[in-house]
Amino acid sequence: MYQVKPVSPGDIKINLPTCMYKLPNIHAQGMSCNEHALQNGEMDPALKALEARQDEILKRLYDLKATVDGLSKTVTTPDADLDATTLSHGPSASVFKSTADLDSLLGKDLGALRDIVINANPASPPLSLLVLHGLLCKQYKVLSSVHVHSSVTAVPPRLLTCLGQQHMDSYARNHFQLGFTLIWKDVSKLQMKFDTQNMCPIEGEANVARFLFRLLGAEPQDPIGATRMDCWIDTAVFQLAEGGSKERAAVLRSLNVALGHMPWLLGQQFSLADIVCACCVLQAGQSTSAPANVQRWLKSCQNLGHFDCVYALLQ
């Protein structure tokens, strides 16, 4: 319609906008964190997390390997051997081993008390572990104690003294080699912790019994004997203790046949198989109705003196 003179000198160049206003690039904002990190020369956060997790797993595997290497010395260390004669000496036998011997078994530092903490349900007392506790007391200096967790309302008095009378206030921890703590707790499956920082809990009475028996250094050193021992232990726990009447009857027949031509389940050597099987037979209430060979074998177990704590609980 009409012309207007320029308001600015003609030699000044002005960059005129091509749009009303500018917005940040939404595509750049929508890039994943990994692409943004890679563009800026940084490590992907997901890769960082994976690397940290791998380092933690490797550390735990290293600690587990150290523990296993320590336990493996129960076979190769001559001083750790404990034969059937030692086990059958009864309550009067006392074979204290040095702290160095225990360190070689467990792969731990010298001079420290090793704490064994067991959570067990008072409705099903772990009889085999009580027998093993007595054997450990004959071989090591053991500081024993019994506690009741808040999840349990009442515990029979005999369970509170199942590890014997101990006045902990009168003892110093550095006078002992092992700490054996039994906690009556409302748990579905027995648990044991040995190294609360580096070792995962061991579950099940059979597995805990195997661990404690290794501390005695009395495991069979031939693979066949060790396999037979494990077979009897699993049979006792899963069929005698947890099975039905038909399964219990079948196990008693198998025990009667096996004990018909040898004094113990592994032959001439008293072993963990005898401890676990005898405790399961007693706990199942099958001792009086068991076949003749089984009753004779139970009497032999009782004569050793290791099962006095078990019979005291069953009275």
> What DSSP line would sit under 178-193, residue for residue?
EEEEEEE---SS-EEE
Collapse the DSSP code of 115 into the 3-class scheme (helix H, G, I; strand E, B; otherwise coil) and give the result.
strand
Cα–Cα distance between 159 and 190 in angstroms, integer? 15
Q: Which residue has the tokens 């030699």?
A: 11
The per-residue pLDDT for 206 is 93
* Backbone phi and psi for residue 148, each to the nearest 5 degrees, phi listed first: -120, 125
Which of the pair, 71 or 65, is modelled with greater confidence?
Answer: 65
> Of 84-93, 133-142, 260-269, which gets the smallest average pLDDT?
84-93
Among the ranges given (61-65, 158-162, 185-189), the one the predictor scored with the smallest mean pLDDT = 61-65
- pLDDT, residue 86, reads 45
**HEC secondary structure over 113-132:** CEEEEEEECCCCCCHHHHHH
CA distances from residue 181 to 115, 119, 120, 160, 162 in whole angstroms, order as listed? 7, 9, 11, 12, 11
Question: Nearest-CA neighbor of 210 among 293, 271, 269?
Answer: 271
Q: What is the pLDDT of residue 211?
A: 92
**Tens digits of residue pLDDT in 219-269:** 888 899 899 999 999 999 999 888 888 999 999 999 999 999 899 999 888
pLDDT score for 26: 57
Q: Give the architecture-level CATH label for domain 76-214.
A: Up-down Bundle (1.20)
What is the spatial distance between Cα 81 and Cα 75, in angstroms, rounded to a whole number? 8
**Per the structure block, which two tokens stand in for 256?**
């009667």
Nearest partner of 102 among 208, 270, 214, 202, judged by Cα: 214
The C-alpha atoms of residue 16 and residue 14 are separated, in whole angstroms, by 6
Q: How do strand 191-193 and strand 202-203 relate by DSSP bridges?
A: antiparallel
Q: How many CB atoms lie within 10 A of CB 180?
A: 24
At 29, the pLDDT band (50, 70, 90 cuts) reads: very low
pLDDT (average), residues 104-122: 73
The predicted model gives 133-161 an average pLDDT of 90
| Token pair in block for residue 141 | 């200096």
More confidently predicted of 40 and 18: 18
- pLDDT for res 30: 46
Mean pLDDT, the chain, rounded, equals 79
Question: CATH number for the 223-314 domain, one of 3.40.50.2000, 1.20.1050.130, 3.40.630.40, 2.80.10.50?
Answer: 1.20.1050.130
Q: Does residue 81 or residue 148 have the better pLDDT?
A: 148
> Which pLDDT value is given to residue 270?
92
User: Residues 196-228: pLDDT tens digits?
Assistant: 566 788 899 999 999 999 988 888 888 998 999
pLDDT recorded at residue 173:
73
Domain 76-214 and domain 223-314 have a common topology: yes
Percent of the chain's residues with pLDDT above 70: 74
- As a whole number of angstroms, the longest Cα–Cα distance in the chain is 129
- Name the residue ranges covered by the structural domains of the chain: 76-214, 223-314
Name the most confidently modeled range: 121-125, 192-196, 311-315.
121-125
Give the pTM: 0.66
